[in-house]
Structure 1
Amino acid sequence: MFVILVYDAGEKRVQKFLKICRKYLVHVQNSVFEGELTEATLKMLTEELRTIMNDEEDSVLIYKFRTKKYYERISMGIEKPSHESFMF
């Protein structure tokens, strides 16, 4: 599945969120990641994020798409990396 993940974390945890998300997805903007994951890998990612999250200060949004058939990415301004940049 294709995933877009966005987080908003407390100052003390921002770098931890960044490090975990980079293990699974491509960093495309501040606190924004995208990429293809299996359901099992998505579960590992969310479980890892839960271990560092403060439910009263942090927020994570995950948008799941079954297919990229209806996906279109429009980029304006400075070119940012895309999950497609890392495909073989």
Structure 2
Amino acid sequence: MFVILVYDVGEKRVGKVLKICRKYLTWVQNSVLEGEITEAAYKRLKIELKRVIEENEDSVIFYILRTTKYSERETMGVKKGGEEIFL
């Protein structure tokens, strides 16, 4: 499956969250990562994030796409992070 992950977490946890997410997905822009991921890796990612985030303060959103066949990505302005994977 293809996942787009966006997060908004407390300043003290940003580095930890990014480090965990980069083990599984490609960083694209501040607080945004994406990539192909297996079901098992997706479950591990969520377990690791749950240990770090404060559920009453932080937000992590997963957009799950079963296929990227009908999607595309268009970027305006500065290109950050990985451009090798596109929507």
Normalising to structure 1: TM-score of the pair? 0.90
Unaligned ranges ≥5, structure 1: none
What secondary structure does 1:67 align onto? coil
Equivalences for residues 56-67 of structure 1 within 5 A: 56-67=56-67
Paired-residue identity, % = 60
Counterpart check, 1:70 vs 2:67? no
Normalising to structure 2: TM-score of the pair? 0.91
What secondary structure does 2:67 align onto? coil
| Residue matched to 2:38 | 38
In the comparison of the two structures, how many residue pairs are matched? Answer: 85
| Residue matched to 2:83 | 82
What secondary structure does 1:12 align onto? helix
Across the aligned residues of Structure 1 and Structure 2, the Cα RMSD in angstroms comes to 1.3
* Amino acid corresponding to residue 67 of structure 2 in structure 1: T
